[in-house]
Amino acid sequence: MAARAVTLALALTLLASCSSDPSGPATQTSAAAAYQNCRPAAAAGFFVDPNSAAVLQVQRWEGQQRADDAAALRKIADRPVATWTSDGVTTVGAYVDAILSCAATQHQVPVLVAYNIPHRDCGNFSSGGAGSPDEYKTWIRNFAAGIRKRQVTVILEPDAVAHAVEGCESEERYALLADAVTVLKSAAAKVYVDAGNPRWITDVRKLADALQRSGIAKADGFSLNVANFVTTADNIAYGRQISDAMPSKPHFVIDTSRNGAGPLDGPGDVDGGPRWCNPPGRLLGAPPTTTNTGDPRADALLWIKRPGESDGACRPGEPAAGQWWPEYALDLAKRST
């Protein structure tokens, strides 16, 4: 159930491969240089990252004469997908600025995921995060400084609230999230505080209370299903229940990146790993959109989890959380229309 992220170091490695010196070190400078090569996009809307792992994989396969595989993977590479930001207190601002500058050149709006809360993922597959509350406050302020009041949607700390409801770093975490909402809104970002998924926290009123303590009143709403597989219909029903439990009736967004076939149901683990982690036989979900979401309180369907990146090393041979996994990406793409 935990969300998975590309670490900043991995993202910079991918971006460096697009720079003039692909053998050089993965630095923030190389990231900014890569994004300076952006060109106006064919269509406005959400940001399609020209330097994503999927785009680079398409280029590699085309160069290797794997035309059919490259064409299939374009179902991911050509879609707008969120960019995750994790480590790098001193570099995160420049990284955010580079992404937003590229998006502005393409006349598109990026979706960023802030994923650096202390004791992230409660020590599970995506463990890490800022080393202290003060470090996190500095990090989120540097993140916000990179926005410079340009258009951006921020998904704030996947899993953090749901884990807090379960007792993980709850009191301190709520305060950090509320502070982050205030800081990001001051930078003119649209902010959605993550609320888990319909199969996680069943006590909706308890979850709604946790969201209110996390600053939801100042945010634009909450996000659902990040890195999970629950159907859009179930998320809309769950989102309405959460929204109805709060006086402000906040709106929500849904991650549809991999929910085209729904979750992998059944008892127990699969080959020794949890069913939410890299399950086989899944499909890409509905493309990102702000229209025809299925409910007036659903502001958007988004691809927040980057399809093709591992949920974690849940079984022997599976990559670590956030690492690009071309075989899994290709399977998702080939199964999907």
Active-site positions read 121
Quickly tell me which residue has 């080939």 as its tokens: 334
Distance, C-alpha 137 to centroid of its chain: 20
3-state secondary structure the chain: CCCCCCCHHHHHHHHHCCCCCCCCCCCHHHHHHHHCCCCCCCCCEECCCCCCHHHHHHHHHHHCCCHHHHHHHHHHHCCCCCEEECCCCCCHHHHHHHHHHHHHHCCEECEEEECCCCCEHHHCCCCECCCCHHHHHHHHHHHHHCCCCCCCEEEECCCHHHHHHCCCCHHHHHHHHHHHHHHHHHCCCEEEEECCCCCCCCCHHHHHHHHHHCCCCCCCEEEECCCCCCCHHHHHHHHHHHHHCCCCCCEEEEECCCCCCCCCCCCCCECCECCCCCCCCCCCCCCCECCCCCCCCEEEEECCCCCCECCCCCCCCCCCCCCECHHHHHHHHHHCC
Determine contact, residues 304/113, Cβ cutoff 8 Å.
Answer: yes
Distance, C-alpha 224 to centroid of its chain: 11
Determine contact, residues 92/130, Cβ cutoff 8 Å.
Answer: no
Q: Identify which of 126, 135, 123, 53 has the alpha carbon closest to the alpha carbon of residue 92.
A: 135
Could you tell me whether strands 298-302 and 251-255 are parallel, antiparallel, or unpaired per DSSP bridges? parallel
